[in-house]
């Protein structure tokens, strides 16, 4: 569960309690709760769309580094993980020494987000291609 989901959960619980206490009509209380949930989802959706537009702008940029910095960062993180959990333990077992690089928790979070975003993006692309015959990027570019 991400930080946004935790914050929304922390906000909606007390808010729903207030709605239950303030509104005596249960149907009206349920309608208000549904409206709050709908608006929160819409807000989160628009934030995701804004992030997606940034990533798309980078992916379609003119500069090689602009298009490649995210994949390069992911490769560096994967290299550190491979070193720490594959290479260094074997070197330590064989030669008595192996250099492990510290990977802060935020880097793990970044890798999880990057891999999760890639998987979700590819899944969405395949679903879009299966249902419409065009992928998401095709629809943006206006090609088939």
The sign of the CA dihedral 118, 137, 127, 9 is positive
**Contact status, residue 126 vs residue 136, Cβ threshold 8 Å:** no
For the chain, what is the domain count?
A: 3
Report pLDDT digits (tens) over 14-50.
888 888 888 888 898 889 888 888 888 888 788 778 8
What is the structure's pLDDT at 121? 56
Same-domain check for residues 108 and 94 = no
Same-domain check for residues 48 and 85 = no
**Contact status, residue 63 vs residue 55, Cβ threshold 8 Å:** no
First-residue to last-residue Cα distance in the chain: 36
pTM of this structure: 0.46
Which of the two residues, 88 and 54, has the higher pLDDT score?
Answer: 88
Same-domain check for residues 24 and 1 = yes
Same-domain check for residues 4 and 28 = yes
Residue 59 has pLDDT above 80, yes or no: no
Same-domain check for residues 4 and 53 = yes
Q: Which residue's structure tokens are 């309608």?
A: 31
Closest CA to 122 of 112, 113, 135, 141: 135
| 143 vs 129: CA distance, rounded Å | 12
Q: How far are the Cα atoms of 32, 70, 82, 86, 121 from residue 116, in angstroms, in the given order?
A: 33, 13, 19, 23, 8
Residue 136 has pLDDT above 80, yes or no: no
Same-domain check for residues 2 and 50 = yes
Which of the two residues, 135 and 116, has the higher pLDDT score?
Answer: 116
Same-domain check for residues 78 and 91 = yes
Question: Is 117 exposed, middle or buried, given 0-12, 13-18 or 19+ CB atoms closer than 10 A?
Answer: middle
Residue 113 has pLDDT above 80, yes or no: no
* 127 confidence band (pLDDT: 50, 70, 90): low
Report pLDDT digits (tens) over 73-89.
888 888 888 998 899 89
> For residues 68-91, b (16+ Cβ closer than 10 Å) or e, as one string?
eebeeebeebeebeebbeeebeee
Same-domain check for residues 95 and 42 = no
Same-domain check for residues 3 and 52 = yes
Same-domain check for residues 93 and 108 = no
Same-domain check for residues 95 and 109 = no
Same-domain check for residues 95 and 120 = no
Q: Residue 108: which domain range?
A: 104-144
């Amino acid at each position: 569960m991400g930080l946004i989901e935790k914050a929304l959960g922390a906000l909606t619980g007390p808010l729903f309690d207030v709605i239950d206490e303030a509104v005596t009509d249960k149907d009206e209380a349920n309608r208000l709760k549904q409206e709050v949930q709908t608006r929160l989802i819409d807000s989160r959706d628009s934030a995701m769309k804004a992030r997606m537009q940034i990533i798309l702008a980078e992916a379609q940029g003119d500069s090689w580094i602009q298009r490649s910095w995210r994949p390069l960062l992911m490769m560096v993180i994967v290299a550190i993980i491979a070193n720490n959990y594959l290479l260094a333990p074997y070197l330590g077992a064989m030669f008595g020494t192996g250099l492990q690089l510290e990977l802060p928790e935020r880097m793990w979070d970044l890798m999880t987000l990057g891999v999760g975003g890639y998987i979700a993006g590819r899944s969405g692309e395949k679903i879009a291609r299966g249902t419409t015959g065009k992928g998401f990027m095709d629809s943006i570019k206006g090609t088939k």
